[in-house]
Chains A and B, each alone.
Chain A
Amino acid sequence: MIILQYLFYILIFPGALFTIAAGLLLAGIDRKVIAHMQKRIGPPVAQPVYDFFKLLGKETIIPATANRAAYLIAPVVSFVSLCIVMLFIPILGFRAIGGAADMIVILYLITIPGAALIVGGAASGSPFAGIGISREMVTMMAYELPLVIILLTVAKKVGGDMLIFDLGIVSAYQAQAGSLITEWSMIPAAVAMLLVIPAEIGTQPFDVAEAENEICEGPLVEYSGSPLALFKLSINMKMIIMTGLFTALFFGGIRTGFVITDLIVFVLISTAVMLVCITTTHAITARLKIEHLFKFYWTVVAGLALVSAVLVWIGL
C-alpha cells in the first residue's frame, strides 16, 4: 500500500504529471501575456504542449564529436531531478514527503538541471556550447548566494533561536502566525527571491547562458528531437517549481481545508508570482552582460537578502 502511495506521489501528484501539466500551463500563460503586453495576439495557451510534442516527433541527431552517453543522459537527469523536487514543496496544507532538512535537499536538487545542462552542453562538443556553459556556471554562482541567504533567513525567522530547515514546520508556522510576506522584515528577502527566480529559469534579462540570437542557445545548440524536448520541458517545470517555492516560503499561511482547493489556490498564487517576476521583466527588459549579471546578484540581490537576514537576526 505504502509503495503504491509513493508511486502515486512520484508519478502523478505532486510529482511528474502535475509538475509537467502546471509547468506547461504557466509557460503558455507567460507567452500569451507577453504577447498582449506587446500588443500582439500571441500563441494559444497550449502552445508549449504543441512545442513539446513536435520536438518528440523530430529526428534526434547526435553530433560525431559528441560523447554519446553523457549527451543523451543529461536531459533525463535534469527531468527526473525536477520531478523529485516538487515532492518536497508543500502545497499549502498538503505535503507529500517531508524531512528534517528538506530546504537543503531542494537547494541541491534545483542545481541539478543547471549541472545537467552544463554536462550535456560539454558533451556536445560545440564551441557555442562552450561559451554557454561558462556563462551558465557564472549564472549559477550568481544566484546561489542570495538564494542560500534567503533560505537561512526564513529558517531563522521560523525557528526563533535555532535554524529550522523543515518546510513542513515553515508552513505550519505561517498557518499560525500569518504568511511571512506580511512581516515587514521579510519583504527585502521576498524581493530578492523574486529576482532570483528569473535567473534560475533563465528568462530575459538573465538568459545570458542561452542567448539565442548571440550564441545560438548556448548549451542547447546541438540538441534536437526528444532530448531537446526534455530540456525545454525542464525549463517549463522549473517555472512552477521556483514560483511554487516562493509560494511555500512566503504565502504558506493560506489554508482552505481541502487538498483540491489548496492546489487551485497554490497554482493561482504561483501564476501571479510568475506574472510579476518572469513575464513582466521579460517583456520590458533586454539581455544583460554576464559580468553585469554577476555584479547585480552579488551586490543588489544579495544585499537585499542580507538586510532581511540582519533584521531577523536582531529579532525583528
Chain B
Amino acid sequence: MIKKMINKSASKSPWLFHINTGSCNGCDIEIVACLTPRYDAERFGFKLAGSPRHADILVVSGPITVQSRDRLIRTIEQTPDPKCVVSVGSCPKSGNVFKGSYGIDGPLDKYVHVDVSVAGCTPKPEAIMEGLYKAAQILEKKREAMSK
C-alpha cells in the first residue's frame, strides 16, 4: 500500500529546478509566469526547488553555450532518480537563431534524454504548463519502473 502511495505521489508533487544555459531570458520569464497567480502551477504541486538534489523535473532553457555545458551535465547528474528533463523553447531543441555560432554546443539531446520538449520562441505559459504536466505523468511511470 505504501509502495502504491509512493508511486502515485510521484506525479503529484514534482519539484522543478530551472537551468539556464545561456537563454535570452525570454523563456525564463515565461517559466516564472507559470508560477504566478494567473497560471498558478502550484495547484498541481509544482514547486521551485532551491537545489538540484531536491528536484524531480529539470527545466532547461537556452541553447547550451560552451561555458554552461559542463555545469549542465553536472547538475543533471546531481539530481536523484526518478527525474525528467524538460526543454523549454526552441533553443535547447535546435539552437534556434544561435545555430552555427562558435559559442554554442547544442542541442540538448546530445547530452541527455529529453522527456518533454516544449517548442516556441518563446512558448506560451499554457504550453509550458502542459509540458510540465506531461513530465509529471512520465515521472510516475519512471517511479513504477524503479519499484519493480
Contact = CB atoms under 8 A, between A and B. Distances in A.
Interface of A: 31, 35, 38-44, 47, 49-54, 56-61, 128, 212-213, 215-217, 220-225, 228
12 contacts: A31-B42, A44-B45, A47-B13, A50-B12, A53-B2, A57-B82, A59-B80, A212-B51, A213-B48, A215-B50, A216-B51, A223-B53
B130 to A, nearest CB: 17
Interface of B: 2, 5-10, 12-14, 37, 40, 42-45, 48-51, 53-54, 56, 78, 80-82, 143, 146-147
A274 to B, nearest CB: 19
B6 A53 contact: yes
**Closest 5 pairs (CB-CB, A-B):** A212-B50, A53-B9, A59-B80, A57-B6, A50-B12
Contact of A50 (B42, B45, B49, B54): B45
B43 A54 contact: no
B50 A54 contact: no
B12 A54 contact: yes
B45 A228 contact: no
A35 B9 CA distance: 21
A138 to B, nearest CB: 20
B37 A38 contact: yes
- Max chain B Cβ within 10 angstroms of own Cβ: one of A50, A56, A215, A216: A50
Contacts of B45: 43-44, 47, 50-51
The listed residue with most A CB atoms (<10 A of its CB), out of B8, B43, B45, B54, is: B54
Contacts of B53: 61, 221-224, 228
A40 B37 contact: yes
A54 B6 contact: yes
A61 B42 contact: no
A60 to B, nearest CB: 7
Contacts of B147: 57
Contacts of B54: 217, 220, 223-224, 228
Contacts of A215: 50
Q: Which of B13, B49, B78, B81 has the most CB of A within 10 A?
A: B13
Most chain B CB within a 10 A radius of its CB, from A43, A128, A216, A228: A43
B56 A54 contact: yes
Among B2, B48, B53, B78, chain A packs the most CB atoms within 10 A around the CB of B53
B43 A224 contact: no
Contact of B42 (A40, A60, A216, A217): A40
Given A57-B7, A61-B78, A61-B80, A35 B51 contact: no
A51 B55 CA distance: 12
A220 B50 CA distance: 10
A42 B39 CA distance: 11
A216 B18 CA distance: 13
Contacts of B50: 212-213, 215-217, 221
A42 B43 contact: yes
A273 to B, nearest CB: 24
A50 B9 contact: yes
Contacts of A54: 6, 9-10, 12-14, 56
Given A212-B49, A213-B50, A217-B50, A58 B40 contact: no
B42 to A, nearest CB: 5
A302 B42 CA distance: 37
Given A50-B45, A51-B13, A57-B143, A217 B80 contact: no
Contacts of A44: 43, 45
B51 A220 contact: yes
Contacts of A220: 51, 54
A46 to B, nearest CB: 8
Nearest to B146: A57
Contacts of A216: 50-51
B40 A60 contact: no
Contacts of B7: 57
A228 to B, nearest CB: 7
B41 to A, nearest CB: 10
B40 A59 contact: no
